[in-house]
Amino acid sequence: MSIGAGLRKFTKSSEFYVLLAVVLLCAVIGMRNPAFLTVFTGLDLLRASIVPGIMVFAVMLGIIAGGIDVSFPAIAVSSMFLTARLFEYLEWTGPVAVPILMSVAIGTALGTVNGLIIAFFKLPAFIVTLGTSHLFHGMLVWSIGARPVNRLPPTMDAFSRAEIFRITGETHSSAVPVTFWFLLGTIVVVYFILNYTMLGRGIYAIGGDRVSAERAGFNVRGITIFVYAFIGFASGLAGIVHTIQSRASFPVELIGSELLIIAAAVLGGTHIGGGKGTVLGSILGLALITISRNSLIMMGIPATAQMFVVGLIIVAGTGMSAYQAMRRENKLPRILDTAGGGVVAGK
């Protein structure tokens, strides 16, 4: 494929429209407030996107496989708070990798519970995770209480201050924290799974047509369990990164962020009915959500109106792609041959 043809194909993809929306949003904010278009804002946004980002790509995997997981914030908060509490109690001074692995292990375990229920009882993921979300979070609050952890172990605290690089200007100074590698790692792993493994193609296959996937010999049950275990894994990671970033742990955080995370994936072109979705699209969707959540204030939109504007962007964005799909699908093929034109078969 030539570069020109590739470019033309890209302009027809759903990712192109999201990119357009991101550029447009940046241009509008930048026009109102030139301070937005600086490297400092960019780095701050990058930092703000780490925790939601890790979750977006995992959730996208679930949606592609045809299931909507809404329990990931509950898993994230359960893993991180349990871990923070435990290591506070242990007065841990060992390597930071241990609490991180602990949180990830808890997340994976909880995700596997979701996966087992969904795969063996063939229930819709949405219903199952609606239930387990309360189950996990309720169990956390009930069993270990709601007293926050205000002081992290010293090694975690030090890790939270570690930076990949920092740019310092006359008035501003912004840095990319080391935790950014976790986001990058998640993106690379999800991209690799989806595009270069049979497992990934199986995820698309299940989302496209579950019965056909079974007939084609895909291990539908195994793939389903993997998908939800992976969402749990990523949630555990996102949770502990969130705790590290905020240098404290509260048992009620992240809860309520699920719909915005799902919206980021859907805005990026992930088909809510399954079978379609790309990493690039979700990166753009994530950018759109992160920018509108964090930068509308720079445009002079008051905090009270922000939720409204974010909602507007989501409705307009998802509505646009739905409208496009509708136009494609509802077009009746032309039957009458009119002057000059050949018979055109409908697509």
* Per-residue interface string for the shown chain with other proteins, residues 240-279, x marking contact by CB under 8 A: -------------------------------x---xx---
Query: Which tokens belong to 14?
Result: 């759903």
CA angle 118/122/128 to nearest 5° reads 40
Please choose, from the candidates 151, 128, 89, 112, the residue with its C-alpha nearest in 3D space to the C-alpha of residue 235: 112
Task: Decide: is 88 part of the binding site for other proteins (CB under 8 A).
Answer: no
Phi-psi sector, 233: left (phi>0), alpha (psi -120 to 50), beta: alpha
- Residue 218 found at the interface with other proteins (CB under 8 A): yes
**5 interacts with other proteins by CB under 8 A:** no
Quick count: other Cβ atoms within 10 Å of Cβ 228?
Answer: 33
The burial class, CB within 10 Å (0-12 / 13-18 / 19+), for 139 is middle
Nearer to other proteins, 66 or 232 (CB): 66
Q: Does 334 bind other proteins (CB under 8 A)?
A: yes
What angle (nearest 5°) sits at the alpha carbon of residue 38, between those of residues 32 and 41? 90
Q: Contact between 205 and other proteins (CB under 8 A)?
A: yes
303 near other proteins, rule: CB under 8 A: no
Closest approach, Cβ 60 to other proteins, in A, equals 14
Measured from the CB atom, the residue of 151 and 334 that comes closer to other proteins is 334
Q: Which of residues 127-146 bind other proteins (CB under 8 A)?
A: none
**Smallest Cα–Cα separation from 219: which of 201, 202, 195?**
202
Q: The tokens of 301 are what?
A: 């939109």
Shortest separation between residue 126's beta carbon and other proteins, angstroms: 19
Q: Looking at 146, 216, 252, 307, which residue binds other proteins (CB under 8 A)?
A: 216
Q: Does 200 bind other proteins (CB under 8 A)?
A: yes
Which residues are near other proteins by CB under 8 A? 195-201, 204-205, 207-209, 211-213, 215-218, 271, 275-276, 332-340, 343, 345, 347
